[in-house]
Structure 1
Amino acid sequence: MGRKKDIVTIRDIAKEANVSVTTVSNVIHRNYGRVSQETINRIEKIIKEKQYIPNMSARSLVNNSSKIIGVINNLIPEINSSFIQDPFHSAFIGGIEKEFSKSEYFTMIRTVMDKQELVALLKNWNLDGIILTGVFDDEFYHTLKMSEIPVVLIDSYIKDEEILSVGLEDFNGGYIATKYLIENGHKNILFASPKIKANGVVEERLKGYKKALCEAGLLFNKNNVYEYEKAITIDECIKLGRKLSERRDITAIFATADIMAVGIMSGLQEMGVRIPDDISIIGFDDLDISRITSPRLTTIHQDAEKKGLIAAKMMIAYLKEHNVKSKKVILPVHLVERESVRKIL
C-alpha cells in the first residue's frame, strides 16, 4: 500500500511563506489590517498549491464561532408534512445552500416540535445564527429571542422591528388568485388551505380572497372555506380531492399551496371530475410540479429559492457587520396562467 499523504498544517504554510503562524491565521480569517498585499498573495498561493483545508473545529474554538447556521422549522405535527420533503422548502433550502457555499458558513437543518427541543438544540450546538420558518408570536419564539442568537424569520407576521425577516405578498397573492377566477366567470369559489392560524401566512391569503369577493359584490360563505387540519401530504390532499368532488355547487377552487392543488386535482379526477371543464383550480407557489400536472396548473408564483438566497445574505451581513440595509424584505408575487382554469361564458 502507498504511503498516506501528509496532512498540511498551518505551521507548514507559515514555514514555506517565511512568516509567523499568526500572519497565516490572519490571512485565512481575512484579517488583512497588518499584512501586506505581497504577503497575502504569497500565502494564498501556497494555500492553493498545498490544498490546505482549515480545521473548522479549531477555528471555532479560537473565534468562539462555529460558522454553522441552523435552518429550523417549528414543526406542528398535526398540520405539517416533513420539512425536507416539502418541495417548497427544498427550493428554499437550496437557495440558502447556494449562498452559504460561496462563504465560510455551513447549514444545519433541523425540525423542532416545542420550546424544550429548541432549548436542547441551543445548549448542544454553538450556532452562529438561525433561519426560522413556521413561527408565531408564542412561547417558542420568545424562548428563541431570549437566547440572543441572530435570527432571520421566514414568512412570519410577528411585529418586531428589531428582527430580520423575509416574507411575501401573501394578501396580494390571495387577492390576485381569487380575482382571476372571478374575472373568468366563477362566483362560487372554494378556499382550501392548511390550518388557519391567527397572524399567519394562510390567514393573509384568506383576507385577500375575501377582498376579491367583496369587490365583485359576492358574499363570503364560511362553508366555502375548507381548512384542512391534517398533515399536508400528497396522499391526504388526494383524499381531500375525493371529498370535495361531492361539492357539485362550486365551479372553482383556490388552494393556498401547489402541493394541495395537485393532490386535490388527482382526487377530483379519480372521482370523474374533469378539470377545468367541471371544476377549475388555482394553486400558490409555482413549484416545478405545477408544470407537469394534467392539465398544467395555473398558480401564483413566488420565488422560493430567492427567498432562501436573501435570508442567507441577510444573516451573513448581520454576522459580519452587525447591520443590514433592510431588516424586512417582502418579495412580490404574480399570476402564472396555464390550463387549469376555465372561462365561464
Structure 2
Amino acid sequence: MKKNGITIKDIAKEAGVSPTTVSNVIHKKYEHVSPETVKRIEKIIEEKGYIPNMLARSLVKRNSKIIGVINCLIPTARGSFIQDPFHTVFLGGVEKELSKRGYFIMLRTVNDKDELISLLKTWNLDGVIVTGIFEDEFYEALLNTDIPVVLIDSYVDGDKFLKVGLEDFKGGYLATRYLIEKGHREILFVSPKIKPKGVLEERLKGYKRALEDYGIPFKSEHIYEHGTRVEECIELGRKLSKRKDFTAIFVTADIMAAGIMSGLIEMGVKIPEEVSIVGFDDLDISLITSPRLTTIHQDVEVKGTIAARMLIDYLEGKVIKERTVILPVRIVERESVRDIKKN
C-alpha cells in the first residue's frame, strides 16, 4: 500500500542507519545499537509522529489474524457504537467475512488521537477497518501507520487507504426528488452534525441540488443538525409538530426518522396525511414503524462484507482491482409519504 506518511526507510535515511537498525530500536532490541544511535532514532520517531505496529510488523512477520474495527466518531450519547442499528448490521457483515476467512474481530471506539495511537502501538492488529474519518487528527494519525487501513464512508483525499462508500449525493437527491414529485415543496432536512467532506454533507448537497433542479428556493431554516438518540429525536418530533410551514421531512438515518415520527404522532400529527417522511438506510426498523417508512436503501451488511474482503485480500497479497468501492442506492416506497398532488 502506498504510504503518504513517514516510514521506517524514511527514518533510517534521516538517521543515517539501516532500516533493520530502526526496526531493532522500535522493538527495543538494543544489543547491537549504540546508545547515541538509539537516542537519535527515537528523537526522529517522536518528531515525525511515526506510529509503528509494535508487534505485527516486526522482522519475523508474526501475524495475529486479528482485524480491528475502530470507530472514530466521537460519542455524543451514552452506550457503545454497536448499539446503533446501522453499525450492528455493518459489523455483522464484517464478522461473517472474517470468520469465513479465518480472522478475528476486535471492536473499539476511540475518543481522541492519543487513544488511537495507543491502540495502534499496543495491539497486534493485522489491519483495521475505520469508520468516522474526516480530515482531522485521526486522519493524520492513520497516515503515519504502516498498518493496512480500510476507511468506511469517508471522503478524505489521497490514495493511501482502501475505501468503501456509498452514493450519498445520489441518495440525498433521490429522497428529495421523490418528495417533490409527490407535490411537496417545503421539505425539512434532518441529520446528525454535518462535517466537511463527510457523507452527511454529500446528502445535503443532493437535497439542495434537487431543490435547485425543480426551482424550489433553499431555506436555511429547514435544516436541522440534531442528536441521534431516540429520546432526542422524539423530542424533535414534538417541536416540529408546532411548525405549520412544511409538509415533508427527509431524515438521513432511519433510526432518527422513527424517533421523529413517534414525537409527531404523540402530538397528534398524522403521517402521512399531514407530514410525509423519507428516511435513509432501509434498516429493519423501517419495516416496523407505523406507517412503514419510505427510505433510501443501502446494503449495510454487504458494505461490511466488502470492507473485510478487501482488507484480507490485501493482507494475503491478492490483486485489489478497485481501491475504492462505491455501493448503489435506491428508494424503497412504503407508506410514510402522501402524494399531495392527488388532492
Instruction: State the 1:63 CA deviation.
Output: 4.6
C-alpha contact 2:163 2:325 (8 A) present in aligned 1: yes
Which residue matches 1:11? none
1:325/1:197 CA distance change after superposition, 3 Å: same
1:256/1:79 CA distance change after superposition, 3 Å: farther
Which TM-score applies when normalising by structure 2? Answer: 0.81
Query: How far, CA to CA, are the matches of 1:168 and 1:239 in structure 2?
Result: 30
Alpha-carbon deviations, 1:309-342, whole Å to 9, x = none?
0000000110001641110000000000000000
C-alpha contact 2:143 2:160 (8 A) present in aligned 1: no
Which TM-score applies when normalising by structure 1? Answer: 0.80
Residue identity opposite 1:67 in structure 2: K
Counterpart among 115, 118, 125 of residue 117 in structure 1 = 115
- Secondary structure, counterpart of 1:167 in structure 2: strand
Which residue matches 1:287? 283
Alignment length (residue pairs)? 285
Alpha-carbon deviations, 1:126-163, whole Å to 9, x = none?
11100000011111111122011100000000111231
Counterpart among 177, 200, 210 of residue 175 in structure 2 = 177
1:81/1:227 CA distance change after superposition, 3 Å: farther
- Secondary structure, counterpart of 2:250 in structure 1: strand
C-alpha contact 1:68 1:108 (8 A) present in aligned 2: yes
C-alpha contact 1:79 1:195 (8 A) present in aligned 2: no
Which residue matches 1:264? 260
Query: How far, CA to CA, are the matches of 1:209 and 1:143 in structure 2?
Result: 33
Q: How does 1:1-345 map to 2 (within 5 A)?
A: 63-78=61-76, 82-228=80-226, 230=227, 232-321=228-317, 323-345=319-341
Residue identity opposite 1:318 in structure 2: Y
Instruction: State the 1:78 CA deviation.
Output: 3.1
Could you tell me which runs of 5 or more consecutive residues in structure 1 were left unpaired when the two chains were aligned. Answer: 1-56
Which residue matches 1:43? none
Alpha-carbon deviations, 1:29-53, whole Å to 9, x = none?
xxxxxxxxxxxxxxxxxxxxxxxxx
C-alpha contact 1:162 1:327 (8 A) present in aligned 2: no
Instruction: Give the CA RMSD over aligned residues.
Output: 1.7
Residue identity opposite 1:287 in structure 2: L
- Secondary structure, counterpart of 2:71 in structure 1: strand
C-alpha contact 1:81 1:233 (8 A) present in aligned 2: no
Report which stretch shifted further, 62-71 or 100-109: 62-71
C-alpha contact 2:241 2:264 (8 A) present in aligned 1: yes
Residue identity opposite 1:254 in structure 2: F
Report which stretch shifted further, 317-326 or 331-340: 317-326
Instruction: State the 1:234 CA deviation.
Output: 1.0
Which residue matches 2:40? none
Query: How far, CA to CA, are the matches of 2:184 and 2:294 in structure 1?
Result: 15
Residue identity opposite 2:265 in structure 1: Q
Query: How far, CA to CA, are the matches of 2:151 and 2:86 in structure 1?
Result: 16
Query: How far, CA to CA, are the matches of 1:270 and 1:122 in structure 2?
Result: 47
Query: How far, CA to CA, are the matches of 1:182 and 1:75 in structure 2?
Result: 32
C-alpha contact 2:186 2:247 (8 A) present in aligned 1: yes
Instruction: State the 1:124 CA deviation.
Output: 1.8
- Secondary structure, counterpart of 2:321 in structure 1: coil
Query: How far, CA to CA, are the matches of 2:109 and 2:160 in structure 1?
Result: 24
C-alpha contact 1:79 1:194 (8 A) present in aligned 2: no
Could you tell me which runs of 5 or more consecutive residues in structure 2 were left unpaired when the two chains were aligned. Answer: 1-54
Instruction: State the 1:61 CA deviation.
Output: 11
